[in-house]
Amino acid sequence: MEIANQIFFLVFALLTFTFFLSFFWKFKYSKADSANTNLLISIGLYGLCCLAFGLAPWVSHFLLTIANTCYVAANIALVILYTKWNQKKLTWQAIIALWCIPLIIACFYEPLRTTVNSFSQRVALITISQEILLLWQAILLFKFFKNGRDRVIQLVLGLTSLNFIVSVTRTYRTLTTEGQLNIFLYSEDPIAFGIRWIGFTSVLLVYIVLSIYYLQQQIEKEQELQGKISLAKDENQEILRLLDEKELLISSLLKVNKTVETGALSASIAHELNQPLGASSINIEFLQQKLAQNKLNPESAQEILGQLASDNLRASNIIKSLRDIFAGDTAITGQHDINALIKNVLSFTKPELSAHQIKINLELAPEVSAPISSNEIQQVLVNLLNNAINALANQNPTEGKLVTIQSSSTDQEIRVTISDNGPGISQEQKVQLFDIFSGATKSGMGLGLWLCNHIIRRHNGKIWFENMPTQGARFIITLPKAV
């Protein structure tokens, strides 16, 4: 029986160390956490336990103390493992206290080992300690099983419970049986032999099942990783598709933008040419009327022809400046007197001002000049003045129609203000006042203020609207004095 015991212990040691090596390399490459490292410790201690039991009769009986200490320590490691499975954090004081338990048991076991007729006491010391730890393990496993209902954990719980029952049976039989059966570990009767090896086999099976559990977790992680990789590939394909769509969208927007710019250019030309062409039409009608009546004298003819030439030049300049604006070219600037531009604008809007009985109030500061494109800034002034004229056109003359134009200058900028005492601008119109086509009415296309804003921005200036204290509208322009 002694030889059979030793062979069994050495075989179990060989199997356990095989598991230990397989787990060691798995943990090394998978970077296992501290919880799973306790399983590796438990397997290693159980392997040392079996090896010490197998070599004790040949080497030294002191190995029995080492074997039983390792056996208890292996169960301590499993307690720590299952505790961490349940997401319970052990303090370092608690961990130290747990690892002191095998050492305390060793201190009691070694004196008993050298004492005559103490076999039953030695067995009881180890088995009762084991039963406490096995019961603790079973409780922790049951709590963990309730959370996940994993069948593998259920099997570990069953094997742990079996080991507990076997240990209790061995304790009872050892303490109640007398005589030759209780002399020495290796000379126990076949029943005691069978009980002990059922317990050792259940422990080995626990390690096998735990290895299956970790293998199952690894497979699930790999499947999850594979799923993420597959999802990432799908998302990558979707991103590539969206990028292709983005390129198509950008291309479409560029085409649309060119179409909008072309439409805006056409509308701007029509809008801006309306004034000089209207003036030319009036002068031509007047000229035809005088010719039909034979009342045209050379002086009047010369004056009308001069006005027609001026209007024609204005129309030509408008077309050129609008073409430059929409082509995206930088504004061609030179030092120009703003007051002169204001007076020039008033000269060819004078007929409309007179027709609607609108008075002009000029408050011009001296020497107001800036690096600007005269044609473009003149267009801005014409648009703002025409807006003021249109706002006052339907006003009762007795109310006093007035447009005030002011200019001022500082070291950094010049300022031009055009205000009127008309009905002002409604709250709805203020929101998108400078947006293209936003101010379209029966008499306008909604381009004037947008074009004014566009030109002023090209000159790195600003234009904005303010309400008058009483009634009417006020537009303010600021332009830098340096390019």
Residue 60 sits in a domain whose CATH number is: 1.20.1070
Phi, psi of 340 (to 5 degrees): -65, -40
Distance CA 171, CA 120 (A): 8
Phi, psi of 418 (to 5 degrees): -120, 120
Domain count, the chain: 2
Q: Does residue 179 carry a pLDDT above 70?
A: no
Query: What pLDDT digit, counting tens, does each position of 321-360 carry?
Result: 666 665 555 566 788 999 999 998 898 788 788 888 899 9
Average confidence (pLDDT) over 76-102: 89
Q: Is residue 222 part of a domain?
A: yes
- pLDDT greater at residue 416 or residue 224: 416
Check which CATH number belongs to the domain holding 457 and give it.
Answer: 3.30.565.10
Q: Is residue 334 part of a domain?
A: yes
pLDDT at res. 34? 55
pLDDT at res. 33? 54
Q: Is residue 385 part of a domain?
A: yes
Instruction: Work out the end-to-end distance of the chain between its first and last CA atoms, rounded to an integer number of angstroms.
Output: 109
Q: Does residue 263 carry a pLDDT above 60?
A: no
Q: Does residue 64 carry a pLDDT above 60?
A: yes
Q: Is residue 293 part of a domain?
A: no
Q: Does residue 182 carry a pLDDT above 50?
A: no
Task: Tell the burial category of 89 from Cβ atoms under 10 Å away from its Cβ (0-12, 13-18, 19+).
Answer: exposed
Phi, psi of 334 (to 5 degrees): -155, 165
Q: Does residue 6 carry a pLDDT above 80?
A: no
Per-residue CA distances from 241 to 184, 229, 245 (Å): 78, 18, 6
Identify which of 19-23, 164-168, 267-271, 450-454 has the greatest average pLDDT.
Answer: 164-168
pLDDT at res. 137? 92
Per-residue CA distances from 75 to 15, 36, 99, 269 (Å): 18, 14, 10, 93
Average confidence (pLDDT) over 226-233: 74
Q: Does residue 204 carry a pLDDT above 90?
A: no
Per-residue CA distances from 187 to 13, 193, 419 (Å): 20, 9, 120
Q: Is residue 11 part of a domain?
A: yes
Q: How many CB atoms lie within 10 A of CB 353?
A: 18
Distance CA 483, CA 413 (A): 11
Whether residues 349 and 221 share a domain: the answer is: no
Query: What pLDDT digit, counting tens, does each position of 149-177 carry?
Result: 788 888 989 999 999 999 899 888 888 87
Beta bridge partners of 440: 445
Whether residues 229 and 339 share a domain: the answer is: no
Q: Mark which of 206, 234, 262 sits at the end of a domain.
A: 234
Distance CA 32, CA 438 (A): 66
Please give the torsion angle defined by the CA atoms of residues 344, 350, 351 and 352, in that order, rounded to the nearest 10 degrees.
Answer: 110
Q: Is residue 466 part of a domain?
A: yes
Q: Mark which of 210, 234, 258 sits at the end of a domain.
A: 234
pLDDT at res. 48? 92
pLDDT at res. 207? 86
Give the position of tokens 């998302």. Answer: 235
Domain that holds residue 86: 2-234
pLDDT at res. 299? 73
pLDDT at res. 445? 36
